Amino acid sequence: MRVRASLGTLALLGLVDVGVVEKPTTAYLLLHSENGCMGECVFCPQSRLSRSSKDLVSRVPWPEVELEELINKIKTNTAVGRICIQTVIKKRFLDDVLKIVSSLRSEGVEKPISVSTTPISKGDLQRLRDLGVDKLGIGFDASTPEVFKLVRKPYSWEHYLKFLSNSIDVFGPSNVYVHLIYGLGENDVEFFKSMKFFKSLGVNISLFSFTPVKGTTSSNWRKPDLIGYRKMQILRYLMDSGLDVDNYVRVEGGKLILSKELINGILSSTDKFFDAFLTYGCPSCNRPFYNESVRGPYYNYPSREFLLRNKDSLVSELKRLLSECG
């Protein structure tokens, strides 16, 4: 069975000889489809509307590889902390997902497995859980119903909400990860309200920044404001820490303003708060340079060590954020 795997995954497993600055700590797999995805998301190279190469997801190449070859390498590689199976919409795509998960388990791979998918039935969610999938990713991507339509997400916002409800029922809220992409046309207040809504359901939020890719419908869109993205990382971190986030932020003139005390506290407590800027997802997920060039600027840092090596630029960004606090 042919699948795709991220270039970093293949490097981690020793299947390609390329230099990487930071290796992934999850093995990332993608369903194989010569024609990409039947969806029409304007930002995605896999979209049927895209003229991009179908070996891309965001800015990362995903070469084809035999599943059996991957399994043999994954079984013996202690650096792989998790397996993440990502889907495309095609005929009988769920059959492929079930076959991959079944093959991993039948071959003795005991590592935890995540699946990131578009809406499927509650019964199919239960089948994934029963096969051993322990985490589920849901690519809402858009943070509002209006942006959802703008970027041509498949199905409807309401359909995704129903799918989210079923996912919570089957996996439990703490095992569900909602993916949100910052910079698709929403404003900061809207994005913040969306994060609060999803957190009120008890699920996790994985943050991505919009990445323009040549050949996609949105290739001429700009990368989002890095300082605005830092706000969202900080606010997500505060919510995950169980704090009342409204104590640290206000809306002024339609803008989202963080408290000066909060930013000063982050600047003076680097060891504690810098985790807010690491890639956040399922356990062991670090997605190195999924949203950015290895040359930066860095939206998500793949490891604490990499962040500390680039600490000066992050501190400079936080000082710019501090200047907005008034």
CATH number at residue 139: 3.20.20
Rounded distance between C-alpha atoms, residue 36 and residue 59, angstroms: 15
Tokens of 325: 């606090």
Tally of domains within the chain: 1
Rounded distance between C-alpha atoms, residue 300 and residue 278, angstroms: 5
Tell me which residue has tokens 């799918």.
163
Rounded distance between C-alpha atoms, residue 113 and residue 283, angstroms: 10
Nearest CA-CA partner of 195 in 301, 316, 280? 280
Say if pTM beats, i.e. exceeds, 0.75: yes
CA of residue 312 relative to chain centroid, distance: 25
Domain that holds residue 198: 2-323
Nearest CA-CA partner of 243 in 225, 271, 265? 265
Query: One digit per residue, pLDDT tens: the chain, 326 residues?
Result: 999 999 999 999 999 998 899 999 999 999 999 999 999 999 999 999 999 999 999 999 999 999 999 999 999 999 999 999 999 999 999 999 999 999 999 999 999 999 999 999 999 999 999 999 999 999 999 999 999 999 999 999 999 999 999 999 999 999 999 999 999 999 999 999 999 999 999 999 999 999 999 999 999 999 999 999 999 999 999 999 999 999 999 999 889 999 999 999 999 876 778 889 999 999 999 999 999 999 999 999 999 999 999 999 999 999 999 998 86
- Residues comprising the chain, all counted: 326
| pLDDT at residue 326 in the model | 66
- 82-86 sheet: strands from edge to edge: 64-66, 2-5, 26-31, 82-86, 113-117, 133-141, 176-182, 204-209
Nearest CA-CA partner of 323 in 269, 264, 247? 264
| pLDDT at residue 300 in the model | 98
Cβ-Cβ contacts under 8 Å for 172 (sequence gap 6 or more):
none
SS3 159: helix
SS3 237: helix
